[in-house]
Amino acid sequence: MPKRLVPLITALLLAVVSAPAAASTGGIAASTTPMPSASAGGTAYGSVPLPKHPRKRKKRRRRTPAPTPAPQTPAAPGPAAVLTGPTAAAPAGAPAAVKLAIAAGNQLQGFPYRFGGGHASFKDTAYDCSGTVSYMLHGAGLLAGPLDSTRFMTWGLPGPGRWITIYANAGHAYAVVAGLRLDTSGSPSGPRWRPLPRSGAGFTARHPAGF
């Protein structure tokens, strides 16, 4: 073989050997650089990252303070009842409930005092202070069951009434009906109409609605 043909044959042989490797890679040598992965924090080829939307903060509602109730102006007292002996007479023009309250108070005149009297039942043989007030209010149709003096502190509406006012604290209760005081404290003890007024200091004044 002529020496001039050796380089040509060698080049042809090298071309034949390298052809299959080029065909398997599409004619381009494989890259050793790894492709980015979405799971590794990268972005996959051909994908677009989605924008992040900021979280909406809830607006706090401002609480409107409750209006301060206006102080209640005591109602002008109605006409006074007339005391004749141990019983009282309702004034002319008084509401029916006031007349019934005075009639119920008249029924208690002469009963003795007994602590707890009038609490188990409106009908009893003796009455204490709150039992007397409970009997009077029940007779007027304003109370369904007996109360003690402490519960009278929150009964009805605050302040003195025009016709009926209940004065109560933790230890005592009495009523003023059409200007007359129905009270168990005094001489003699027990439920009586008392013509003389009594200081309401230390007592909570309450009255039935409308009276």
173, two tokens: 């209760």
Exposed/middle/buried for residue 2 (C-beta within 10 Å: 0-12, 13-18, 19+): exposed
C-beta separation of 171 from 165 below 8 A: no
pLDDT at 195: 86
Q: What percentage of the chain carries pLDDT values higher than 70? A: 64
Mean pLDDT of 94-117: 97
Mean pLDDT of 56-81: 63
More confident residue, 195 or 147: 147
Element counts in the chain: helices (H) and strands (E): 4, 8
Mean pLDDT of 122-147: 97
pLDDT at 29: 43
pLDDT at 200: 94
pLDDT at 78: 73
List pLDDT tens digits, range 169-184.
999 999 999 999 999 9
**Calpha distance 153→198 (Å, rounded):** 17
pLDDT at 39: 44
* DSSP SS3 for 198: coil
- Find, among 186, 179, 184, the residue nearest to 109 by Cα: 184
Mean pLDDT of 183-203: 93
Average pLDDT, rounded, for the chain: 80
pLDDT at 24: 45
